[in-house]
Structure formats: structure tokens, C-alpha cells
A = this chain, B = another copy of it.
């Protein structure tokens, strides 16, 4: 019964692409893919047997679930136009930091389906191991979304908009900022004629380690050893790159603050 709900994907970016492929593989029909960019809609639609549409008036009105993966400000701006004439369906967005209430007043059945993962078009992600956080405006649709999302992933949780915002902010630290530190490390190696690949075993072990130890116990390196001589050596090496020097100093002091227990209460 769950599988009979047909889906329309609105958006053809990284998240929509990953959802589209997974829905298709699970045999859940995606009837349309909408994107304002015709080529993006066509590229995804062709791969998952859906119709590509790039004009709002061509959006069908008989799907069971509409999944909206548009940039936050586009979703907020277009919500009224999206749902008009399609108020019988369940509407969900996939954004970390947009509250569920974005739908309120426009339609009667709505919610959120937030995948906690980093998606790039160049790389397919197996959604079955991606935690999906769902929320809906009625107990019936919350239950429906939990079960429906359970066809996509083994890990489905409920999270309200406040928790989802906290998840999103944490993900920025644990993924986007982490990836940027990989980029800085790679740049630094490149400047010294060394390939990025030499860092991969270290990067892998750093990630694997926090499966077994809490990050605070997993910490190693000059800062947590209070090895001021090495910290100074590194700060000197970074002298010509003041942004990275300041970043090094700030992160090192923050590691020491956390280690000494100074960082567990807000300032107010």
C-alpha cells in the first residue's frame, strides 16, 4: 500500500538526485521531476523513468507525495504556488534549517524528510545507511512518513524542527568544516610537493576511531598534549598564511579549553 503512493520530486540538485535514484531502485514510482533548469530536470528524470518538467503550470496534481528539495529561499518564496490545487497530497521538504511551519496556512498535510548526509552529484550515496529524520503535522502522517521513509533507509528517526536545526548545525561542523580542514591539509602538502593521498589512512582512522571512542577521548596531537614547542613551530610555519595561523591557534586553544573542562556552559 505504501508503495502505491506516487512521488513528484521538486528540485534536481544533489539531495533530489540521491532521493530519486533510491526511490527508483525501491520500485516507488516517481512520476515527475521538476527543476527550473530544464537540463537538470531532464538529466535526473531520464535516469529514473519520470517526466521532466520545468514550468510550474505543468506540475501534475495527482501525486501522493511531493518532495521539495529547492534552495531554502526558493522554497519559502514559492510555497504558495507549489501547493495550490494540490492540497490533498502530503508535502515534505528536505532542508535542515527550514522549520516545518513553512507549510502552515498553505496546505493541510505537510512535514519534513531530512537526510543527514553530504550529497554531491559526482558521487552516488547509498541512502539505506543514511539517517532520515521525519516530522509531520499530524500523528497519522508522522506514522506514514516513518513507514514510508523506512523503505528508503534502515535508520529513520523523528525529530522536531528545533532538533533538526541542531542536527544541521552539527553536520556543518562534522562534515563541511571537516572537509575544509582536509582541503587546507591538502593545500599545505601540495605546497611542499606531497600528494594528498598520503593523508587518507589518517583521515580514515580519525573517522573510524570515533565509532569506538567518544571524540574527546580520541583526541591526540600537540594541543591536547600541551606541547607548546610544537604548536609554536607550526604557528611559525604558518606565518605567511595568517588566516590558517589564526585558525590553528583558535582550534588548539579550543581543544585545550575542552580538555580542561572550561567549555561546557554557555556564557550567560
Contact = CB atoms under 8 A, between A and B. Distances in A.
Contact of A185 (B170, B184, B221): B170
Contact of A188 (B170, B176, B225): B170
Given A169-B188, A185-B171, A229-B73, A118 B206 contact: yes
Copies in the complex: 2
Contacts of A178: 178, 181-182, 203, 206
A199 B171 contact: yes
A96 B194 CA distance: 15
Nearest to A220: B118
Interface of A is mostly: helix
Interface in A98-144: 116-120, 122-123, 125, 129-131
A57 interface: no
12 contacts: A123-B218, A155-B201, A165-B237, A170-B188, A172-B248, A173-B181, A174-B181, A180-B219, A183-B215, A183-B219, A241-B266, A242-B267
Interface stretch (A27-35, A48-56, A85-93, A249-257): A249-257
A3 interface: no
Contact of A176 (B119, B187, B192, B220): B220
A9 B254 CA distance: 33
Contacts of A258: 180, 183, 187
Contact of A130 (B201, B222, B242, B247): B201
A205 interface: yes
A72 interface: yes
A173 B185 CA distance: 6
Given A169-B238, A172-B223, A176-B255, 14 more contacts: A14-B220, A72-B227, A120-B218, A166-B188, A166-B194, A173-B188, A175-B206, A178-B203, A179-B209, A179-B210, A180-B251, A182-B218, A187-B258, A196-B210
A185 to B, nearest CB: 4
A213 interface: yes
Interface string A216-235: 11111111110101100110
